[in-house]
Amino acid sequence: MFDYDPYAQLDAVPAFAVESDDLDPDLPLKAPQYSASAGGSDTSPQLSWSGFPPETKSFAVTAYDPDAPTGSGFWHWAVFNIPAEVTSLPSGAGAADSGLLPEGAITLPNELREPAFTGAAPPEGTGVHRYFFVVHAVDVPSLDIDAQSTPAVLGFNLHFHTLARGILKGIGEFGGAA
């Protein structure tokens, strides 16, 4: 399962740094980043980024599990039209109506059809899952995407507008929030 990189099939773009106070690269997610149904609190991690191209006009942030047993992965979070001067999001910014996202940012419905971050909840027997928290540096100030679209529609649009991307991965498995 770990040989599949969902970003490898896209056009190559430069990388930049993404860090988190709540997420250690390639290590297990902490309990808050798990779903409430899995013993967590559906809290999106704090994220900060640097080293993106100077011509960046906005950002998008996505959280994706390519290892979900669906054939198409599982989108946990997708937010776009984050102004270029914003280079971090606080912990919990993904909660619906948190007030922690910058003005103009749009959160699309995730796989549960909620416009919010939903935490990890790997089903029993599905092994270790990877969680890709990705910040996309975008070449336009705003993407014209319907707020009820899917994260896949955002991904399609990002394919044509991403200048660079930063990726921070965590891992999780059934019972990991305990």
The pLDDT assigned to 5 comes to 87
pTM for this predicted structure: 0.96
CA within 13 Å, CB half, 47: 34
Beta strand segments in 14-70, E = 17-19, 47-50, 58-65
Domain limits, the chain: 17-172
Residues with Cβ < 8 Å from 26, sequence gap 6 or more? 169, 170, 171
Q: What is the pLDDT along the chain (178 residues), one digit of tens a residue?
A: 456 789 988 999 999 999 999 999 999 999 999 999 999 999 999 999 999 999 999 999 999 999 999 999 999 999 999 999 999 999 999 999 899 999 999 999 999 999 999 999 999 999 999 999 999 999 999 999 999 999 999 999 999 999 999 999 999 999 988 7
Helix (H, G, I), strand (E, B) or coil at 62: strand
Q: 17-172 adopts what CATH topology? A: Phosphatidylethanolamine-binding Protein (3.90.280)
Residue 121 tokens, joined: 């909840």
Q: What is the per-residue pLDDT for 3?
A: 67
